[in-house]
Structures are given as C-alpha cells and as structure tokens.
Amino acid sequence: MKKVISTDKAPAAIGPYSQAIEVNGMVYTSGIIPVVPETGEIPKGSAAQAKQALTNLSNLLLAAGSSMDQVVKTTVFIKEMNDFAAINEVYATFFTGAFPARSCVEVARLPKDVMLEIEAVATK
C-alpha cells in the first residue's frame, strides 16, 4: 500500500501530485525545486539554488523516515549545463560514502524558472 509523504519543510506541491510516496520500504520523491519553504523565495545563482533544493530534498526524506544516506538514485534537471561543475560541488556535500546513481540532463525550462530540479529514490 502506498503512503503519501508531505512536509512544510519543503516546497508544497504546485499541482495534482504528492511531495513523495512511500511504497514497499522505498521513498519516491517528486521533483524538488529550490524554493525556501518559509518565504517562497528562490536563491540567486546555481550553487545557492542547488543547496536549497538539496536541503528541501533532505527535509522531505527526513519526513519520510529516510535520509540522504539512503538515497539510491537521483535525477537532476538543470537549465544550463555550464552550471554542472558548480552544482556538483554542492551536490557532493550532501552525501557521504557511496554516492547514489544519478542522471543529469539539461532542460529548456523548469517550474518558476528555477535553475535546477532534483528527484530521488531512497530506501527507508
């Protein structure tokens, strides 16, 4: 049976979807964007946005009873591939030990015109 996961420490869904779903001991997150949940602000610059998006992701996983250390796969959507190195620097600080598998793709546009969006699959 699936369980809906939500927290006010990550951006609220802006459409007909859940922030995350847990099923069979796995947590599947929706795409997380770099919005500061308390204010709705979006940080400036790719590194600051990466930090906010990953903080939001971490908070969502904690609400699900998981953590960044239990992430097995991420997908990172970035607006500008030239920001890849700056985003990677921040990304690396959120994981310890073996990094999760990852896909990273450049896209034309993201919600609220942010510079990146990240989704994850984690164990519980």
- pLDDT tens for 41-84 read 999 999 999 999 999 999 999 999 999 999 999 999 999 999 99
Which range of residues forms the domain containing residue 44? 3-123
Using only C-alpha atoms, the chain has a radius of gyration, in whole angstroms, of 13
Of 42, 68, 104, 110, which residue is the catalytic one? 104
Mean predicted lDDT score pLDDT of the chain: 97
For β-strands 71-78 and 101-106, DSSP reports them as parallel
Answer yes or no: is pLDDT of 14 > 90: no
Percent above pLDDT 70 for the chain? 100
pLDDT score for 97? 85
Specify the DSSP element, H or E, that contains 52: helix 46-63
Q: End-to-end alpha-carbon separation of the chain, Å?
A: 15
Number of folded domains that form the chain: 1
Residue 104 appears among annotated catalytic residues: yes
- As a whole number, mean pLDDT of residues 109-113 equals 96
CATH for 63:
3.30.1330.40
122 sits in which H/E element: strand 116-123
What pTM did the predictor assign?
0.97
Single-letter amino acid, residue 90? V
